[in-house]
């Protein structure tokens, strides 16, 4: 009986699959609700309200995205879609990318400075196992593997995991910036394309998201993250 269960990879267990589907469902619901609000109140009116907030709108989205990365239990992808829809593609992308660089760097330094026990208290026992497994994958030895893992939906755990290794921040930062430059534009473009009706942005977003999904699947198949 035990042998049969041991043959099942972690990413194939019903509970893990359910968790992934629930995560995607949450993103879909957030997107649908946002589109509903736009259709009801009008994009121009909502944009006017956002613009009237001045710098507080970008700062608010920055804070939401930053917090969702430092505390990985909070959903973060929906904020990328929201940033694209409310701020437009260029400004939305700048806010999300800056938030990711700052939050992932903070996660790295928290792991490096205070160690595993502090990280566990911060993110909880449920998520510390992911950090442990990522820190044991020797990502610090392979720049491209580190970059690839940072491009997945588990990048917040990767930042904590790499911080527990011997990798320096100067080695981690280029991988982080490269991964952000590749993985963030499709998601922000999805929000901008859906809410602005930009067909080119929408096509780019769908293709980019599809490529990221394939990358995540390949990494999980070869080296399961969960």
* Per-residue pLDDT of the chain in tens (226 residues, 90 and over written 9): 444 444 444 444 544 455 555 555 555 666 566 656 555 555 556 666 677 777 888 898 999 899 989 987 666 777 888 888 788 888 999 999 999 999 999 999 999 999 989 988 888 887 888 888 888 877 888 888 888 888 877 888 899 999 998 889 999 999 999 889 888 888 888 777 665 554 545 455 555 555 655 665 555 555 555 5
The DSSP result for 109-164, as a single string, is: HHHHHHHHHHHHHHH-HHHHHHHHHHHTTTGGG-HHHHHHHHTSTTHHHHHHHHHT
- Please tell me the pTM assigned to this model: 0.70
pLDDT of residue 182: 85
């Amino acid at each position: 009986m035990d042998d049969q269960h041991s043959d099942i990879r972690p990413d194939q267990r019903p509970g893990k699959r359910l968790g992934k589907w629930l995560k995607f469902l949450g993103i879909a619901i957030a997107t649908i609700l946002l589109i509903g609000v736009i259709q009801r109140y009008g994009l121009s009116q909502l944009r006017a309200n956002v613009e009237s907030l001045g710098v507080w709108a970008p700062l608010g989205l920055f804070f939401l995205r930053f917090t969702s990365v430092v505390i990985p239990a909070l959903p973060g992808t929906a904020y990328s879609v929201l940033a694209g829809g409310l701020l437009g593609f260029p400004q939305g992308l700048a806010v999300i990318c800056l938030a990711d660089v700052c939050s992932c760097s903070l996660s790295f330094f928290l792991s490096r400075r205070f160690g595993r026990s502090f990280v566990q208290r911060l993110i909880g026992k449920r998520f510390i196992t992911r950090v442990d497994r990522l820190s044991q994958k020797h990502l610090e030895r392979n720049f491209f593997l580190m970059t690839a893992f940072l491009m997945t939906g588990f990048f917040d755990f990767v930042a904590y995991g790499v911080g527990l290794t011997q990798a320096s921040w100067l080695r981690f930062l280029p991988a982080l910036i490269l991964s952000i430059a590749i993985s963030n534009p499709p998601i922000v473009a999805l929000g901008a394309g859906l809410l602005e009706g930009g067909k080119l942005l929408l096509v780019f977003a769908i293709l980019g998201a599809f490529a990221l999904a394939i990358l995540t699947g390949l990494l999980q198949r070869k080296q399961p993250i969960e």
